[in-house]
């Protein structure tokens, strides 16, 4: 059963879990260990860790690419742990001011309203509800965090689709018959830090304000400090960057409304303007009103050197059904038809009428499941037709498709127990899972984004768990299907030499957790990880997570540890975010030898001559015995980490 869990409102360290990281990360990357270290308050003011994590210097973020669309990528930023900690005081000192300043615009559809005091915990069925060993179930004194989606509670919509589907949208549609959708071109890349003071105080007063110790100067200093002192362009990914931009855009919203009012063009009477982050929705009836409103919006944005993306502007007329909405509706029908291959028989219900136990439903076949390969091919054909007829990209609809499949497969997982004693039922479920996997992997190959990988990984994990209730031969068919399809995607990734790696790294992690006999060959794993001088932190850590202590990958592991030593040797961990994360996670990794850890620690401590040998030993022990960012535990529940991701908003959504 779902329930609400109370959070400690004064636990400002909680932002380390919610507001300082991008959504798109390898899903074994979690700040839970880091949060516990900071929460414990055990760091001494005279040790290396205190100096490393509580320094007041400009740090260089780790920049990495994720897949954005068919042929494009987006750069995201993982900021230095010291910079992450520096934002705690901003939230502590100015949270009320932030929510006040973000409540001025009627145009905004997503803004922080209050500090979150509750989070919604989903109910889980027996196979995945017990996460006590994973540190999710808490006692009052526990340092392990209750997980929320963000530090603030947001109004009005945490996801854009809720606006499209909501009463407010339909109410506006009854009043205005035309919609013009446009956005700001490269919004975060175009924002300069000084814009915050200008937007809140005005250009003249901002010069004086920035010389003092106040909200604007503090926020600007932190934004520049986490981005290596850069004043133009802000880091992309963390929630605090969205808040920074929201403060600026809300001030622009107010200027837009004021300018339109002066021209006797009034909100609600002549137009409605809504904004979700940097996407605008202008509702109107007259083209003249559209022209005037759009002109004012562009003019106010241009004062901040922000410009509309004309190539992505779209006009709609009632009914406001976009091609994406239409495609999603057809996909819903397709998925419903697929799962209607099963009907619940009342046979066991009748037998268990007096029983308190939930019946183990019988799978009834409506038609032709024995030809499951043909069914899968037909579904793929129909899906391609839906995408083609709607003239949309796969990336517009795959998240919706995977979410539907995941929900329905999880429902099967909850309802069907062991089928080992029923050969016919077992074979039916096996064939159905093969259809699901065939369809899911095809669509994933069309859209190799991070969110698609998160959702596909959940489908893989649940399907694998369902296979455990089948006969041995059928279980083997499911696992072989997962590995074969994953290998096909991996081969495609390697052959295309795609520059984005987070997407495929998550698929590797999901395969590892299934723990079957199929493994990626060492040469292919090395190619997949790209173990050259450009290999980054994420690839190195996922490589160690996959290899663990398997002697089959000895040469690959030696290559990984050599690259780790080179990266830490060539970069200052006090400034470089990638090297700092790499160092701490290498020290805590149980699959790295003591010799390597001592060598890596020595590379860091060589520049700190004031520390004695005893201090070095203490330093090494502290680093080894703390969990920092990568969760190395063998029994870590990848499914739990994936479920947490459902609470977060991907960049741009």
Q: What percent of the chain has pLDDT over 70?
A: 82
559, pLDDT greater than 70 = yes
How confident is the model at residue 349, as a pLDDT? 40
**Would the CA dihedral through 558, 562, 568, 569 be positive or negative?**
positive
Average pLDDT over residues 315-325: 87
Global pTM value: 0.87
143, pLDDT greater than 70 = no
pLDDT higher at 563 or 125: 563
How confident is the model at residue 625, as a pLDDT? 84
pLDDT higher at 72 or 444: 444
Q: What percent of the chain has pLDDT over 90?
A: 49
326, pLDDT greater than 60 = yes
How many residues are there in the chain?
653
141, pLDDT greater than 70 = no
Average pLDDT over residues 76-86: 97
How confident is the model at residue 498, as a pLDDT? 60
The string of pLDDT tens digits covering residues 218-270 is 999 999 999 999 999 999 999 999 999 999 999 999 999 999 999 999 999 99
363, pLDDT greater than 60 = no
State the Cα–Cα distance between residues 481 and 562, nearest whole angstrom: 35
11, pLDDT greater than 50 = yes
State the Cα–Cα distance between residues 196 and 180, nearest whole angstrom: 28
130, pLDDT greater than 50 = no
Longest dimension (CA), the chain: 80
How confident is the model at residue 7, as a pLDDT? 57
Structure token pair of residue 82? 């010291």
pLDDT higher at 449 or 364: 449
195's CB contacts (< 8 A; 6+ apart) are 248, 304
How confident is the model at residue 610, as a pLDDT? 57
Average pLDDT over residues 272-292: 97
How confident is the model at residue 488, as a pLDDT? 87
- Average pLDDT of the residues of the chain: 83
**Would the CA dihedral through 104, 109, 113, 115 be positive or negative?**
negative
Residue 392, CA atoms < 13 Å, CB-side half-sphere: 21
| Residue 647: band (very low, low, confident or very high) from pLDDT cuts 50, 70, 90 | low
Residue 247, CA atoms < 13 Å, CB-side half-sphere: 27
For 76-94, b/e burial (b = at least 16 CB within 10 A) is: bbbbbbbbbbbbbebbeeb
Beta bridge partners of 280: 182, 275
Average pLDDT over residues 279-299: 97
Structure token pair of residue 270? 């002549």
Question: Among 364, 367, 507, which Cα is nearest to 422's?
Answer: 364
Where do the DSSP E strands lie in 148-260? 152-156, 178-183
How confident is the model at residue 418, as a pLDDT? 59
Structure token pair of residue 182? 């446009």
pLDDT higher at 143 or 29: 29
The string of pLDDT tens digits covering residues 368-396 is 456 778 889 999 999 999 999 999 988 88
The string of pLDDT tens digits covering residues 15-27 is 999 999 998 899 8
Is-contact 564 527, C-beta < 8 A?
no
How confident is the model at residue 545, as a pLDDT? 92
The string of pLDDT tens digits covering residues 161-206 is 889 888 999 999 999 999 999 999 999 999 999 999 999 999 888 8
How confident is the model at residue 644, as a pLDDT? 64
Average pLDDT over residues 46-55: 82
How confident is the model at residue 372, as a pLDDT? 79
How confident is the model at residue 352, as a pLDDT? 42
Most confident of 132-136, 155-159, 332-336: 332-336
How confident is the model at residue 119, as a pLDDT? 53
Helices (H), 391-422: 398-415
509, pLDDT greater than 60 = yes
The string of pLDDT tens digits covering residues 404-426 is 999 999 888 887 765 555 677 77
């Amino acid at each position: 059963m779902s329930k609400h869990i109370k959070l400690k409102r004064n636990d400002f360290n909680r932002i380390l879990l919610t507001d300082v990281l991008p959504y798109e990360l390898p899903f074994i990357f979690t700040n839970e260990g880091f949060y516990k270290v900071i929460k414990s308050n055990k760091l001494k003011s005279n040790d290396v860790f205190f100096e490393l994590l509580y320094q007041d210097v400009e740090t260089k973020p780790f920049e990495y690419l994720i897949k954005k669309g068919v042929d494009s990528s987006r750069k995201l930023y993982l900021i230095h742990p010291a910079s992450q900690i520096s934002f705690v005081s901003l939230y502590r000192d100015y949270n009320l001011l932030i929510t006040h300043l973000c409540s001025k615009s009627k145009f905004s559809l997503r803004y922080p309203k209050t500090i979150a005091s509750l989070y919604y915990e989903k109910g889980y069925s027996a196979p995945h509800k017990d996460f006590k060993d994973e540190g999710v179930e808490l006692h009052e004194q526990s340092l392990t965090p209750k997980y929320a989606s963000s530090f603030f509670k947001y109004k009005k919509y945490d996801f854009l689709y809720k606006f499209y589907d909501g009463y407010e949208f339909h109410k506006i549609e009854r009043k205005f018959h035309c919609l013009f959708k446009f956005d700001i071109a490269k919004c975060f890349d175009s924002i300069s830090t000084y814009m915050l003071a200008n937007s809140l105080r005005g250009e003249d007063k901002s010069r004086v304000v920035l010389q003092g110790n106040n909200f604007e100067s503090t926020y600007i200093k932190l934004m520049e400090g986490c981005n290596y002192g850069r004043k133009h362009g802000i880091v992309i990914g963390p929630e605090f960057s969205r808040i920074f931009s929201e403060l600026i855009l809300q001030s622009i919203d107010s200027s837009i409304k004021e300018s339109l009012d002066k021209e006797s063009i009034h909100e609600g009477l002549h137009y409605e303007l809504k904004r979700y982050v940097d996407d605008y929705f202008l509702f109107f009836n007259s083209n003249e009103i559209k022209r005037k409103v759009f002109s004012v919006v562009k003019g106010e944005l241009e004062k901040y050197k922000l410009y509309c993306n004309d190539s992505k502007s779209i006009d709609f007329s009632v009914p406001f059904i976009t091609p994406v909405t239409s495609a999603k509706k057809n996909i819903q029908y397709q998925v419903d038809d697929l799962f209607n291959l099963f009907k619940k028989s009342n046979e066991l219900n009748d037998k268990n009428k007096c029983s308190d136990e939930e019946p183990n439903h019988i799978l009834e076949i409506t038609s032709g499941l024995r030809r499951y390969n043909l069914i899968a091919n037909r579904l793929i054909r129909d899906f391609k037709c839906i995408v083609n007829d709607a003239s949309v990209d796969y990336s517009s609809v795959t998240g919706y498709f995977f979410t539907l499949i995941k929900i329905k497969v999880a429902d099967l997982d909850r309802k069907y127990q062991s089928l080992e004693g029923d050969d016919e039922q077992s074979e039916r479920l096996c064939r159905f899972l093969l259809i699901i996997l065939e369809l899911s992997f095809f669509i994933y190959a069309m859209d190799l984004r991070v969110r698609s990988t998160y959702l596909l990984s959940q489908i893989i994990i649940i399907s694998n768990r369902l296979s455990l209730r089948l006969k041995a031969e059928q279980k083997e068919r499911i696992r072989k299907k997962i590995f074969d399809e994953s290998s096909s995607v991996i081969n495609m990734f390697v052959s295309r030499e795609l520059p984005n790696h987070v997407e495929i790294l998550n698929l590797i992690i999901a395969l590892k957790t299934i723990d079957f006999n199929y493994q990626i060959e060492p040469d292919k794993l090395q190619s997949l990880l790209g173990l050259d001088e450009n290999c980054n932190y994420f690839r190195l850590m996922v490589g160690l997570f996959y290899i663990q202590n398997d002697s089959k990958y000895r040469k690959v592991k030696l290559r990984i540890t050599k690259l780790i030593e080179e990266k830490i040797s060539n970069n200052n961990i006090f400034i470089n975010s990638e090297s700092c994360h790499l160092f701490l996670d290498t020290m805590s990794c149980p699959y790295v030898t003591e010799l390597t850890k001592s060598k890596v620690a020595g590379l860091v401590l060589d520049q700190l001559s004031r520390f004695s040998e005893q201090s070095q030993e203490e330093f090494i022990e502290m680093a080894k015995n703390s969990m920092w960012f990568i969760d190395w535990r063998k029994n870590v529940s990848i499914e739990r980490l994936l479920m947490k991701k459902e609470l977060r908003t991907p960049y741009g959504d």
